Chains A and B, each alone.
Chain A
């Protein structure tokens, strides 16, 4: 699908990894004022 991204989590040892959820900012959103500053 065009514009889609994939995130992958790969566990590195036997200790527990518990994945809860993703928060995704939608593509048509304008970044906030400070966030624009934060981004190079």
Chain B
């Protein structure tokens, strides 16, 4: 009996690309789009999970990107693979800059509602003038509106170049150990590896990318090993059963394992439980897509595969589509029924059509600036030199005890009115003072020439007005759409 006959729905690779990865990535684009355009009662949340499941689009993105880059790199000479990755990192950096600058301009000069409001997130940086603003964007310190996500990804790829060299030299344990070490440091002492573009903290999220890169690069060997020593079918069944078990746990509101929510309380993020569940569900999704390829492809392939193949384009356009849709007359977060579904359907259609139009127009587009490897290499070296210097001089990437002192919320210099110590401080990695009503006041005095206020930023965070020496610095928003961490809420240099 033929293989295809016994497993009629199974994926059979025909071309150079693995369509399953494009399928998963395209699906992640849809999830992202639906979750980022907040329409509370939309039926589309049935497939997006509405950030209520163990994993969401970001985990799929970072991992599949690693797998794809690993697979491509394994079949190319190592210099060529490195050059391609450098080029990709540079492309991502340019797109990140483009996104941040365009939306900063839109935010400052129009009244459009943005995904992240420039008028709320920019003042602390704009205080220092236009040169500041441009330099802090160029160095990645102050990217926003999704640009910081691509910047994080471009840094992952730069790490990935070293990983690919180690794979090529048959020393895969070096990047794997380095990745594990950075992860552990990030878990034990987040500030030691904290970077300003922290929507997805680098230390916590990089294992997914490096893990994906490892799997992609050693795909053939891993498959052979599993078939010889574990049994592919047995492993697939075990993964699916385990995934099913945790779905039951979620469906019973964690009655079986009440500790699971604590794995997600803090976006210092990617606690080991979260990381393990991410790997489990990514593997389970891959198994399902492989086993049920024919029906899934017939049902959704036309929609998601083009998005997955052009994922950088689709990601960039999705940011513009968010702003377009939420500014359309009649849009409301509280839409219900058909109207709610139509807002999301419109957004998906716009991104999908843009991908199709790009495919159609691609032949006539000029070759991008990014085709000169030597120019790239030099530029990237200078650029990341500047970034390193900037991070060090701002004491953001590395602890600089000689320059900055930390004044914790338990210090007697603080005076609290309407704030109280947070319950379960261990869930936040230390104490915090929390207020949940209007006009609560936290005040501290200090001596120094610059100050940064660190506060918890997460979904549902409120707004506060911050004053320095009785002068208002503006209103600051403590909410972010996804993840949560202690981050700079406001910074100010005394001149």
Contact = CB atoms under 8 A, between A and B. Distances in A.
B442 A32 contact: no
B461 A16 contact: yes
B422 interface: yes
B12 interface: no
Q: In this complex, which of B392, B408, B464, B470 has the most chain A Cβ atoms within 10 angstroms of its Cβ? A: B464
B441 A23 contact: no
Contact of A9 (B408, B442, B479): B442
A37 B135 contact: yes
Interface stretch (B163-171, B196-204, B244-252, B446-454): B446-454
B486 A38 contact: no
A15 to B, nearest CB: 3
B443 A6 contact: yes
B354 interface: no
B445 A6 contact: yes
Contacts of A24: 404-407, 446-448, 450-452
Contacts of B451: 5, 7, 22-25
Number of chain B interface residues as a range:
35 or more
A2 B418 CA distance: 28
Contacts of B129: 38, 40
Contact of B418 (A11, A13, A15, A23): A11
Interface string A2-32: 0111111111111111111111111101011
B455 A18 contact: yes
B382 interface: no
A8 B443 CA distance: 4
B394 A5 contact: no
B332 interface: no
A15 B463 contact: yes
Contacts of B478: 15-18
B445 A27 contact: no
Contacts of B393: 31-35
B51 interface: no
A3 B436 CA distance: 33
Nearest to B475: A12
B482 interface: no
Contact of B464 (A17, A33, A38): A17
A19 B442 contact: yes
Nearest to A9: B442
Interface in B386-429: 386, 389-390, 392-395, 402-409, 418-419, 422, 428
Contacts of B442: 8-9, 19
A37 B389 CA distance: 12
Contacts of A31: 393, 449
Given A32-B394, A37-B135, A38-B136, A7 B449 contact: no
A5 B464 contact: no
A20 B455 contact: yes
Given A7-B467, A33-B389, A27 B447 contact: yes
Contacts of B6: none
B191 to A, nearest CB: 9
B446 A7 contact: yes
Interface of B: 128-129, 131-132, 135-136, 139, 386, 389-390, 392-395, 402-409, 418-419, 422, 428, 430, 432-456, 460-470, 475, 478-479, 486, 493-495
Given A18-B478, A21-B454, A22-B454, 20 more contacts: A3-B447, A5-B447, A6-B443, A7-B443, A7-B445, A10-B440, A10-B466, A11-B440, A13-B438, A16-B434, A16-B456, A17-B462, A18-B433, A20-B486, A21-B486, A22-B453, A25-B450, A27-B447, A34-B386, A35-B393
7 contacts: A4-B445, A4-B447, A9-B442, A10-B466, A11-B441, A20-B486, A38-B131
Sorted nearest first, the 6 A-B pairs with minimum C-beta distance are A32-B393, A15-B462, A18-B456, A24-B448, A25-B450, A12-B463
